[in-house]
Copies of this chain bind each other. A is one copy, B any other.
Amino acid sequence: MENLIRYAEKLFDEVEIAVYRSRDVSASVELNEISMASTRSGAVTIVRGIKDKRLGLAIVDSDEESRVKEAIEQAAKMAKLNTRDEKWVSLPEPGKYREKPKPNYELKEASPDGLVEMLVRGIRLAREKDRNAIVAGGEGGVSWEERHIVNSHGIDVFQEGGAAFFYLELVGRKEGVVTPGIFDFDAKRSLDLDVEGVVERAVQKVGWAYNVKASKNEEVPIIFGPWAIAGLFSYALFPAFSGERLVKETTPLAGKVGEKVASDVITMYDDPFHELSLEPVIADGEGVPTRKNVLIENGLFKGFVWDNYWAKVYGTESTGNGKRDLNSGGISIGFHSMVIENGKRSLEEVISEIERGYLVDGVQGAHSSNPDNGNFAVTANPAFLIEDGEVVGSSVFLIAGNVYELLGQASEVTKEQTVMPSGTTIITPFIKFEDVKIAGK
């Protein structure tokens, strides 16, 4: 890389070269059968160079010196054609990194066979436990990534690691009832995925879903599960923590540092080094050291997260939240491992105290939430009715509200903490909210 940087420095004032090598194996299920097994591996190199505040960015799916040189020249040509970005300050300088966690090399060599066997075991188990259930879909995957980020200011970080995930989607058919798709999943930095647990939880939810209960307009306690929390917060809440939105005045959290934005039970931080994290990266997409960034502590908003560009525009420091999009090549503010702190009591204990309420497993329509003000309108589905301390059936209803009001109604977080691997990785307990207005459907 050293000589490539030297070569690129001739064409740019400052330059960054990021190489990503990846290997992904996966296997899928469709209607109780294994539908596909795949092995993919490759390299992508992204060159970001700046000349007279003009940006050039080129992507090539190779790490060969000759191809990377072509990309460098491509980026240089582009920089010439672009106009100056007067807001541009500079690429990041080297920082102090935490100690790299030891990667689990068994993930580097994983074959689809193990995943196929896991899925087959999951399918058999699910159908044994519930003869009326079909495994509509599912997937097992293992990904391994090596990242090497170098820039002309001396940043030179190499990281490698991997993670595995497994999920199943069950649909139950009984006495004319067809349940919605019921999902459960596991993800961790080892191949030791909890197939039995996934099946057990999914089958239990399918069992609840056979007993359809009408929903009505009411104000009740509601427990959100990890999948529902990930869905809602990813669109309605997390974007508001972005420093770019502070600069662009599109976050309701502007000027609210130190103020109450949630109830005391809510503590939330981004930390790739959490024990359940899937990507314990020491540096972000532009080589800035990662750290634990507290966003909400006992209900108080603690501050925004930044990448290098927007931090310098605003006159602050990057918090190590520059995430790279390998399709666009660009860096934008994002999260590594969003953690919501867990509590002392189990989900079961929390449910046992609810006279009437709901456990929301999933939400639909969260993507149309408005992060500028936190307003959202989602369909809770699957959702399960709780009566006299027990889940008695399933239901579908609408929740329209504001995510900050909802956070203010949070009364307890459970002991369980689950990793949601989709999109932003979220590590979260179940959260109970009091007096939530719902609209029957």
Contact = CB atoms under 8 A, between A and B. Distances in A.
Given A74-B112, A83-B33, A328-B28, A38 B59 contact: yes
A300 interface: no
B82 A36 contact: no
Contacts of A330: 35-36
Contacts of A71: 39
Contacts of A35: 55, 57, 328, 330
A82 B33 contact: yes
B329 A78 contact: no
A78 B328 contact: no
A75 interface: yes
Contacts of A59: 36-40
A366 interface: no
Interface string A111-133: 01100110010000000000000
Contacts of A104: none
| Interface size range on A against B | 35 or more
Number of copies: 2
A41 interface: yes
Contact of A37 (B37, B57, B117, B120): B57
B75 A37 contact: yes
A34 interface: yes
A60 B71 CA distance: 26
Interface string A59-88: 111000001001100110110011101000
A32 interface: yes
Given A74-B112, A112-B74, A113-B74, A81 B34 contact: yes
Contacts of A61: 38-42
Given A61-B42, A70-B39, A34 B116 contact: no
17 contacts: A28-B328, A32-B83, A33-B83, A35-B57, A35-B328, A35-B330, A36-B330, A38-B58, A38-B59, A38-B60, A38-B61, A39-B58, A39-B60, A40-B60, A42-B42, A58-B112, A81-B117
Instruction: Give 8 closest A-B pairs by Cβ, nearest first.
Output: A38-B59, A40-B61, A33-B82, A36-B329, A36-B57, A37-B58, A81-B120, A34-B78
